Amino acid sequence: MISIQNGTIDDFFESALQTAKQIDTNQKVTPKHTIWMETNDLLNILKPQRTTLLQYLKNKTKVYYSVILKELKKSPSTQINP
């Protein structure tokens, strides 16, 4: 599975440095299938509905589906298409 991480180029290189240190010390390295993207780049490739949802969820710690639907003015029958 490939994961997408929100971060900067510095975050990417920090992750690469940690992997290099594991290799240097003969530790087992778990393969990472990660794509690092800066926030604006990630938001530019997402559909507008998903961008709106991500921006809404950004500072939330707990959210109920019904509240999301209400605040984003969606009905349960309205689905975000993949």
5-37 confidence digits (pLDDT tens):
888 889 999 999 999 999 999 999 988 888 888
- 73 or 10, which is more confident: 10
The verdict on 41 and 7 lying in the same domain is: yes
Give the residue with greater pLDDT, 17 vs 61: 17
Mean pLDDT value across the chain: 82
Structure tokens at 5: 């991480």
Which pLDDT score, from 0 to 100, does residue 75 have? 75
Domain total of the chain: 2
Let me know whether 8 and 31 are in one domain. yes
For residues 4 and 21, membership in a common domain is answered with yes
60: amino acid identity, one letter: K
Query: 40 and 1 in one domain?
Result: yes
Q: How confident is the model at residue 49 (pLDDT cuts 50, 70, 90)?
A: confident
